[in-house]
Structure 1
Amino acid sequence: MNLGIGEFYSLSCALVWAIAVVLFKKAGESLSPFALNLFKNTLAASLLGLTVLFVSPAVPALPPLSLLLILLSGWLGICLGDSYYLRALNQIGASRMAVAQTLYSPFVIGLSALFLGEHLRGPQWLGASLVLLGVVLVTWSRDPTRSAIDTRSLRVGTAIGVLSVLLMAVGIVIAKPMLALHDFLWVVWLRLIGGLIGMALIVAWRRNGPAVIAEFRSVRHWPQVIAGSVAGSYLSMLLWLAGYKYTNASVSAVLNETAAVFIVLFAVLFLHERVRPRQYAGIALAMLGVALVVLR
């Protein structure tokens, strides 16, 4: 496969996102998943707003339906998907979440078959099954020293992680046609705005604005929070959506999955997480499954 500009963007996104995950894991020690998601998306929306102002200041003529779909994509993928992702990251660790994230490309391709008219073949369904098996190998434990609470927490965290990846996949399938039809930077920015609107509505409904503000006042790892937000919500989102704009969706999805390799590597080097041989086998199966899913 030739490494075109779209493939380069997708691989770069995987690397930048892996760095952000390690930073978010540290930031999660002093911020709840929702508060961290709110901060990172607010910062990213501000940076993207400045980028739009200087690079593409002309307001595009968006049909109401397109605007609604872009905002909906942001609400599902950013407001809900990212919040659940960060919660699962805190609960099951970076290395396990890395493998759960490999479900992303099977979800994207499956949803594309349903809603965008793409067709799956037998090997692609086999690949999706291998990815699921890989997730089971990484998360299932027979360690007798683990308590029932730990086991339940692991299962719940894994379910939340899988749900987060599904919501992200739904969001990108909704956004992909919009990327082809409208100005790239405006779609990315409005998608973030949609996520922030959803989060603001949640804060208003819960009436916990003062509690969220109090969390920010007690943050102990501001450098990690800010660096992770810039990398994970600004840079990686631009690279992620650029990959989908400039190359085939299946190719972009599988290259994004290489983030799992980077995350496990960084989790071992910087978070000192223990990765067992069975987990490495799960990663290998998951990556093989991803390769089959995108096979043409």
Structure 2
Amino acid sequence: MTGVLAALGAAMAWTGASALWRSLSGRVTAIRLNAMKNGLASLLFLPVLLTLPHNTEVHAVLLLLISGLIGIAAGDSFYLGALRRLGTRRTLTVEASGPVLASIAGVLVMGDSLAVKNGLGALLVSSAVVLIAIHAKETSQGERGGSAADFGIGLLLALTAVICGLSGAFLARQVLISSNLTPLQTASIRLLGGWLGLLPFLKGIWRQTKLKQREQWKLVIATVVGTNGGILLQQVVLQTMPVGEGVTLMATAPVMALFVGRMEGDPIQLSGVAAAGLALAGVACTSL
């Protein structure tokens, strides 16, 4: 039950933080915003890094750094690139393959067991995310069309983002189940790896990016809730649950975003209600 609650909590954290990121997207480019939030998140977790046990295995730390580099730095960058070319609707449709791929990979790579109800849960949650993506209101210029080349590149970037995210999750889970490191410690090391990967984009960023005080507070809150809190909860999930089940539950974030969209003037439609029902059924199949 701890893993289930952590997964749903991570989804809620990412959903709430995403609303704040959207409000800042017009002021800062996506890659710079990603670099800023990961730099700030690493700074907030610095005390944890300084108190790591002296007998911590170097091999485990290296794996976590690579996990952060692949899943946080590279994965998020590929995802942002896909958003620019495909738009929100198409990118989310591709991202919906994550839970199913994670379940299959968990069986083939990690040796996780996959009961029929867990497989059904993954399919239901994935169906919910796809339904939301198909009927999502297109609000960005990138969603109004583009060249075939842009679409092909965007599709490749989205698929690469899924693979990077899952690869990072598998590496982190391997460390969590084979070492004495806590979820907080692994989250800190992963964020450090992601920050190191984004370090080239941080040069002069605070001087060049002039955010108002209110926007700076939004950045801090979104980072604490979405990045620090979200990744910490994610590590708890990876430690206590098979990757497939954990990713499935965390994939409910787009479903939760329905309610955020309503507050932003995007009312819940019948398709949204149906998607929420599918997601809840998937959660029930996976966790009960």
Q: Judge same fold: TM > 0.5, yes or no.
A: yes
> How far is the alpha carbon of 1:61 from its aligned partner?
2.8
Alpha carbons 2:118, 2:245 under 8 Å: kept: no
Matched, 1:22 2:22: no
Q: Distance in 1 between matches of 2:106 and 2:273?
A: 29
Higher mean displacement: 277-286 or 19-28: 277-286
Q: Distance in 2 between matches of 1:69 and 1:233?
A: 20
Q: Distance in 2 between matches of 1:112 and 1:125?
A: 11
> How far is the alpha carbon of 1:41 from its aligned partner?
0.8
Q: Distance in 2 between matches of 1:282 and 1:78?
A: 28
Name the aligned partner's letter for residue 237 of structure 2. Answer: G
Q: Distance in 1 between matches of 2:208 and 2:123?
A: 41
1:232/1:57 Cα in 2 relative to 1: closer, same or farther (>3 Å)? same
Q: Distance in 1 between matches of 2:142 and 2:22?
A: 24
Name the aligned partner's letter for residue 197 of structure 1. Answer: L
> How far is the alpha carbon of 1:97 from its aligned partner?
6.7
Alpha carbons 1:81, 1:165 under 8 Å: kept: yes
Alignment RMSD, CA only? 3.9
| TM-score (normalised: structure 1) | 0.75
| TM-score (normalised: structure 2) | 0.76
Aligned mate of 1:49, from 46, 51, 54: 46
The aligned residue for residue 273 of structure 1 is 266
Percent identity between matched residues is 24
Aligned mate of 1:151, from 145, 169, 173: 145
The aligned residue for residue 111 of structure 1 is 105
The aligned residue for residue 194 of structure 1 is 193
Name the aligned partner's letter for residue 183 of structure 1. Answer: L
Aligned mate of 2:233, from 233, 236, 239: 239
> How far is the alpha carbon of 1:175 from its aligned partner?
0.9
Alpha carbons 1:40, 1:229 under 8 Å: kept: yes
What 5-or-longer segments of structure 2 have no aligned partner?
none
The aligned residue for residue 76 of structure 1 is 70
Matched, 1:61 2:53: no
Q: Distance in 1 between matches of 2:103 and 2:134?
A: 26
Q: Distance in 2 between matches of 1:88 and 1:287?
A: 28
Q: Distance in 1 between matches of 2:37 and 2:143?
A: 31
Q: Distance in 1 between matches of 2:123 and 2:11?
A: 23
Matched, 1:172 2:169: yes
Q: Please give the secondary structure, in 2, of the residue aligned with 1:118.
A: coil
Q: Please give the secondary structure, in 2, of the residue aligned with 1:217.
A: coil
Aligned mate of 1:228, from 215, 222, 228: 222
Q: Please give the secondary structure, in 2, of the residue aligned with 1:30.
A: coil
Q: Distance in 2 between matches of 1:147 and 1:15?
A: 27
Aligned mate of 1:252, from 232, 246, 251: 246
In the alignment of these two chains, the number of paired residues is 279
Residue by residue over 1:58-104, the C-alpha shift from the partner in whole angstroms, topping out at 9 and shown as x without a partner, is: 3343143x3332121111111022234455567745x8877765443
1:281/1:200 Cα in 2 relative to 1: closer, same or farther (>3 Å)? same
Written as runs of structure 1 = structure 2, the 5 A alignment for 1:6-17 is: 6-17=3-14
Alpha carbons 2:8, 2:249 under 8 Å: kept: yes
Q: Distance in 1 between matches of 2:132 and 2:196?
A: 35
Higher mean displacement: 229-238 or 260-269: 260-269
Name the aligned partner's letter for residue 233 of structure 1. Answer: T
What 5-or-longer segments of structure 1 have no aligned partner?
none
The aligned residue for residue 180 of structure 2 is 182
1:124/1:98 Cα in 2 relative to 1: closer, same or farther (>3 Å)? same
Name the aligned partner's letter for residue 182 of structure 1. Answer: N
Alpha carbons 2:132, 2:271 under 8 Å: kept: yes
Q: Distance in 2 between matches of 1:128 and 1:249?
A: 11
Alpha carbons 1:30, 1:221 under 8 Å: kept: no
> How far is the alpha carbon of 1:213 from its aligned partner?
4.8
Name the aligned partner's letter for residue 277 of structure 1. Answer: L
Higher mean displacement: 111-120 or 34-43: 111-120
Aligned mate of 1:216, from 189, 204, 209: 209
